[in-house]
Structure 1
Amino acid sequence: MRVTKRTNIAMRVLMYCAAHTDARVTKSDIARSCNASEHHLGQIVNQLATLGFLDTWRGRYGGIALARPASEISLGSVFRELEAPVPMAECFDEAANTCPLITACRMKPALAAAAEAFYASLDSVTLDTLIDDNAPLVAIFGGGRSEPPPFRTARVASG
């Protein structure tokens, strides 16, 4: 199984936000630290906000922050949301499948079971596991981890 670039960048965004729980962050800060296009990153931030992983605010005091504590965000849930819609093989895409073996092939159920095992193994890993006691990563992100602010305003689905 190969992780898409979109999921890879999404995980960078979530880790960056988890390393900066003391303040809202900006797309440009994340793009700079994570070596990502700000435009592409903006699309991913919007998707993560729509999925409920991020809160976003517009305007002068706007920014991005985790929608819930890092300890409540499992990698399995993030990967399922972002990777599951991408067909693992041609036979998983009913609209574009041209494989002549589909009625007799036993590979599809084996691949489906392997994918579920992959996601299940990530269910026990939470975002805080990637950040806590990981000073080198936090240093790359230029952040100091502290407790999240006690009050958050309403979420806006745009970054």
Structure 2
Amino acid sequence: MWTVMPSPIGDLRIVERDGSIVAIEFSPFNQPADGRPLGSRSDDDPVLVETVRQLTAYFDRELTDFDLPLAPVGTDFQRRVWTQLEKIAYGETASYGEIAGRLGMTNAASRAVGLANGRNPIPIVVPCHRVIGANGTLTGYAGGLERKQQLLELEQDALF
């Protein structure tokens, strides 16, 4: 099942399967990456309603930590990277190299971390926007660099 919610960074499509969130997609929406059908739209499914509530609170600067059932689909390595992303605190950032180090890998694994980061199917909740280049620059983001900057600014502004 899925629903769509408006947000300051454009409409978001939230996809639920078996009681867990499997994707949050930026508009314009594409077909599901894993090729499975989305199912029907449901604006009253409890998991989707709660996800919309928490995302709305996040955008209103009232929520800094999400508490949602997540089931991202990916390789073992990708899931390990995504787990590390969830440990980056609200308003903080980390470099691709730092994430590689947290995984027990050398800085040479930064590129692999970047590729896994870019395949994160649940952006915002799994905060891939908090990963930046080693020199502090904003680097690729599936939703576009403008959205990445907006999300980082939202979190920074909320801290002050």
- Structure with bigger strand share is 2
Question: Is the structural similarity TM-score above 0.5?
Answer: no
Q: TM-score, normalised by structure 1?
A: 0.29
Q: Which has the larger radius of gyration?
A: 1
Which of the pair is proportionally richer in helix? 1
TM value normalised by structure 2? 0.29
Larger RCO of the pair (alpha carbons < 8 Å, separation 6+): 1
